[in-house]
Structure 1
Amino acid sequence: MPGLYYEQFHVGQIFKHAIRRTITESDNVWFSALTHNPAYLHIDEEYCRTQSEFGQRIVNSGFTLGLMVGITVGDTTLGTTIANLGWDEVRFPKPLFHGDTIRVETEVLEMRASKSRPNQGIVIFAHRAYNQKDELVAHCKRSGLMMKAPT
């Protein structure tokens, strides 16, 4: 299985995820529709061209967050996570637009063994997404409840 067990992580470890993704208009419109988000900034090109500071639609931040975290799963938690405990300090310093390509890096910030679950531990990850210009477009901390290696 590609995910790592709790003991295979260490504080300061950095993953430069190989998967990159170009965001399409379909990604943005479908995600906005599926989540019932009618914000003009995501679905109305004419509004954005004439009334927004960006001059075009911006990618739904919920999609950006989900994609950023999703890209990290194969290298870190696939098959070895018990639960995603939460996302903290979620920020979007620059918008993404249709046609932008993102890459993601993950850093292990903290680790602690679970006191109530002896076969599990908590890992806190920092995920950072960059566009094709190497501009930071999203970042967050994510807490994962991870399996310890079977004995």
Structure 2
Amino acid sequence: MRGLYFEEFEIGAEYKHAFRRTITEMDNVMFTSLTMNVAPLHLDEEYAKTTVHGARVLNSLFTVALIGAFHVPELTMGTTLGNLGYDKITFPHPVFHGDTLRAETTIVDKRESKSRDDSGVVWFEHRGYNQNDVLVCEMRRVGLMLKKPKEGV
């Protein structure tokens, strides 16, 4: 399985990724602890009950990592040279333990690399939804993508 080469990306193309994942308490506690984010909103159920959410919410950087990974097998597996940056990341709705997330991607733009002849730059918009089709994360990401290998090389 491989992702798409730069030439294969079409501006405006939309992808609904097949992968889904249910978020567990362990996911949240482990990620939050590993990244040393000691915010009680993620770790302290009694504290979280007093917030507007009424329960612990998933660490938002875990949400970014998960939603940003659902596309890999279909779009960038083995054809990416890496992320160049994120233009925006928003969280319109919190994610809770037990939510099942899925993602969609739109190809926003692309251009030839100005410094490399083997690659191009692609702008992706990734959107994450919960089991109720509520948008929980939206981000624009810029990636450096390989071009198709030249014949005979």
* TM class by smaller structure: over 0.9
Q: Which amino acid aligns with 1:137?
A: V
Q: How does 1:31-46 map to 2 (within 5 A)?
A: 31-46=31-46
Decide which moves more: 111-120 or 58-67.
111-120
Tell me the equivalent position of 2:5.
5
Tell me the equivalent position of 1:131.
130
Deviation at 1:7, TM superposition (A): 0.7
Tell me the equivalent position of 1:70.
69
Deviation at 1:142, TM superposition (A): 0.5
Q: Distance in 1 between matches of 2:78 and 2:7?
A: 15
% same residue: 53
Over the aligned positions, Cα root-mean-square deviation in angstroms equals: 0.7
TM-score norm. by structure 2 comes to 0.96
TM-score norm. by structure 1 comes to 0.97
Q: Which amino acid aligns with 1:48?
A: A
Tell me the equivalent position of 2:143.
144
Tell me the equivalent position of 1:54.
53
User: Where do 5+ consecutive residues of structure 1 fail to align?
Assistant: none
Alignment pair present for 1:22 and 2:39: no
Deviation at 1:2, TM superposition (A): 1.9
Runs of 4+ in 1 over 4 A off after TM superposition: none
Q: Distance in 2 between matches of 1:71 and 1:42?
A: 23
Q: Distance in 1 between matches of 2:129 and 2:87?
A: 18
Task: Encode CA deviations 1:79-99: one digit per residue, 9 max, x unaligned.
Answer: 000111011210000000000
Deviation at 1:29, TM superposition (A): 0.3
